[in-house]
Amino acid sequence: GEFDDGTRYKNYYVPESVGIATGFLISALHHAGLVALTHTPNPMKFLNNLLERPSSEKPVMIIAVGRADPDAKVPKVAKIKKPLNKIMTTF
């Protein structure tokens, strides 16, 4: 990170924190009746110029949010799931 005076400081566990926060945001959007589509272009730095953000900030993801078309359907291939006992272990 960077203070207003330009002094830099270390942030720890940034990818983990961003991942958790993004999951919470997407879950909240879903519960609000909205749909979200994530996109992670590579490289992301073009967003700093486009959105007029300082170089000390690092974009992580683009999230498009909106309302689904009432006639929208989940593709059949997306419904093919492994059985729960193949992906989860209980103790």
Whether 2 is in a domain gets the answer no
Whether 5 is in a domain gets the answer no
pTM above 0.85, yes or no: no
Whether 29 is in a domain gets the answer yes
Whether 46 is in a domain gets the answer yes
Whether 38 is in a domain gets the answer yes
Nearest-angstrom CA–CA distance, 14 and 16: 5
Whether 41 is in a domain gets the answer yes
Q: Is the pLDDT at 11 greater than 90, yes or no?
A: no
Quote the number of domains for the chain.
1
Whether 19 is in a domain gets the answer yes
Phi, psi of 65 (to 5 degrees): -125, 140
* CATH (domain of 50): 3.40.109.10
State residue 50's pLDDT score.
94
State residue 86's pLDDT score.
93
Q: What is the pLDDT of residues 27-80, one digit of tens each?
A: 999 999 999 999 998 988 899 999 999 888 889 999 999 999 999 998 999 889
Give the tokens for residue 23.
């999951």
Nearest-angstrom CA–CA distance, 35 and 44: 23
User: Residue 23 in 3-state DSSP?
Assistant: helix
For range 80-88, the mean pLDDT? 93
Domain of residue 26 covers: 14-87
